[in-house]
Amino acid sequence: MFNRDQWDEILESLSSNWFRTIMTAFGVFWGIFILVILLAAGNGLGNGVKSNFSGLATNSMFMWSQPTSISYGGLNKGRRYNFKIGDVDAIKRNVKGLKIVSPRNRLGGFGGDNNVQRGLKKGAFNVYGDYPQIIEQQPMDITAGRFINQIDIDNERKVAVIGYSVVNELYTADEEILGTYVKINGVNFQVIGVYEKKGMRGQDVEEASKEIIVPFSTYGKAFHTGEDVGFMSITADDDHTITELKQEVFDVIKKRHRIAPEDNRAVGNFDLYQQFKKINGLMTTLNAVAYFVGILVLLSGIIGISNIMLIVVKERTNEIGVRRALGATPWSIKSQVLSESIFLTIIAGMAGISFATGVLWIANKYLDQIESDSIMFADPSVGLGAIITALLILVVSGLLAGFIPAQNAIKIKPVDALRTE
């Protein structure tokens, strides 16, 4: 169907009125441009939000104890209790589908007193008692030395891995860090590693890295928490979501601590997976809106093409009559009109996609420069899939745009078409 003659015919008729052709094409150009930009903006926002989760085990929840709200088993309501280290094994045993159960303890906090000292320098930092597997749930880059390991736990070694913000506050530049000691609440810990938290953008990394991690067992001894567990970070395996498993976890805790089964306040939790799903849902919605608006804008461009094709067909009624007298079949007339409208649509669409890509390229360059600022927007781009979708939409819309005009072109009888001047 697409031989050289057909191309000649298409180019001849499109170039017979350049201004009109370009004005018509602009509608589609603009439509696809808007569509691509909207999709890219949606992606950019998505990337920005997701980068806050990057590397984080999103199929996770945090769980902490709260005062009971129902009296049960002879115990008053409002009773405070603590998770115990034994709960961890109980949860692992009784709940199938969990990947990691990390008991954690925390000392200090935002705005707390200075709890860490090194020589003359002091600072207030979060100090965590942790097991080594925490690194799989809260990703971090070890920039020097090593992370805590099982031997540290077993031997209750007084070692610490410190965040790089701690280094900034307690050490002078060029100072050797590994092997030095920091005093946490009066207990000396040897620094064995430095880390930087991943998945945080801009200023957050600074704040998030104001942390010190020590072995869980050492923490219990040093700060007199014994068997107590402050909170837990629990991750489900890939076949389960934490949202469907968390009630089972709560049930184990409630049983072991004599809490009423219907007491929903006794175990506090933050379900990261649910949050993540919500954000994902929001992104899907945003994407749908982008497609919806983009396609509507594109539609008005297509209607423009359809309109012009109607006029072109009207103008060329006599020519169509002549062609039919010379032996043009209805299909050849129809395919001529259709291919003109598809050609115009695709060329205009390609131009729109290219232009949008150029704009995105410039936007990306600009965004790279201001990346240190914590804006929730990153790497606005569209995937190949979206481009292919857009092209498919273009071909279909070109067909749609040409369909009615093409039908009009052959509706009129040859004898009447010939009579039209």
Residues at the site binding other proteins, with contacts judged by CB under 8 A: 4-5, 12-13, 16, 318-319, 321-332, 410, 413-415, 418, 421
Number of residues that make up the chain: 421
Amino acid at position 140, single letter? M
Rounded CA separation 24/15 (Å): 13
* Whole-angstrom distance, CA of residue 363 vs CA of residue 345: 26
For the CB of residue 332, give the shortest distance to other proteins in the complex, in Å.
7
DSSP 291-353: HHHHHHHHHHHHHHHHHHHHHHHHHTHHHHHHHHHTT--HHHHHHHHHHHHHHHHHHHHHHHH
**CB distance 68 to 258 below 8 Å:** no
| CB 335 to other proteins: min, Å | 12
Q: Maximum Cα–Cα distance for the chain, whole Å? A: 105
Closer CB to other proteins, 12 or 176, in the complex:
12
Picking from 316, 324, 357, the residue whose alpha carbon sits closest to that of residue 340 is 316
Closest CA to 234 of 212, 253, 217: 253
What's the rounded Cα separation, in Å, for the pair 182 and 248? Answer: 40
- Amino acid code (one letter) for 109: G
Residue 335, CB-side half-sphere exposure with 13 Å CA sphere: 12
User: Of 4 and 93, which has the nearer Cβ to other proteins?
Assistant: 4
Residue with smaller CB distance to other proteins, 139 or 330:
330
Residue 309 Cβ, how far from other proteins at the closest point, in Å? 17
| Identity of the residue, 229 or 320, whose beta carbon is nearer to other proteins in the bound complex | 320
**End-to-end CA, the chain:** 30
Least distance between other proteins and beta carbon 26 (Å): 23
Taking CA atoms, 70 is separated from 25, 76, 263, 408, in Å, by 70, 7, 6, 77
Q: How far is the CB of 329 from other proteins (least distance, A)?
A: 4
100, containing H or E segment: strand 98-107
Closer to other proteins by CB, 190 or 329: give it: 329
State the minimum distance, in angstroms, from the CB of residue 9 to other proteins: 9
Choice between 118 and 316, CB closer to other proteins: 316
Residue 337 Cβ, how far from other proteins at the closest point, in Å? Answer: 15
Distance CA 7, CA 12 (A): 8
Placement of tokens 């790279």 in the chain = 368
The secondary structure of 252-294 as a DSSP string is HHHHHTT--TT--SSEEEEEHHHHHHHHHHHHHHHHHHHHHHH
Q: Looking at beta carbons only, is 99 or 324 nearer to other proteins?
A: 324
Residue 139: both structure tokens together: 């990703």
Residue placing its CB nearer to other proteins in the complex, 15 or 369 = 15
CB of 416 to other proteins, least distance (A): 9
Closer Cβ to other proteins, 11 or 22, answer by number: 11
| Amino acid sitting at position 417 | A
Residue 21 CB, shortest distance to other proteins, in Å, is 13
In single-letter form, the type of residue at position 325 comes to: A
Nearer to other proteins, 158 or 316 (CB): 316
Minimum Å gap between C-beta 24 and other proteins is 18
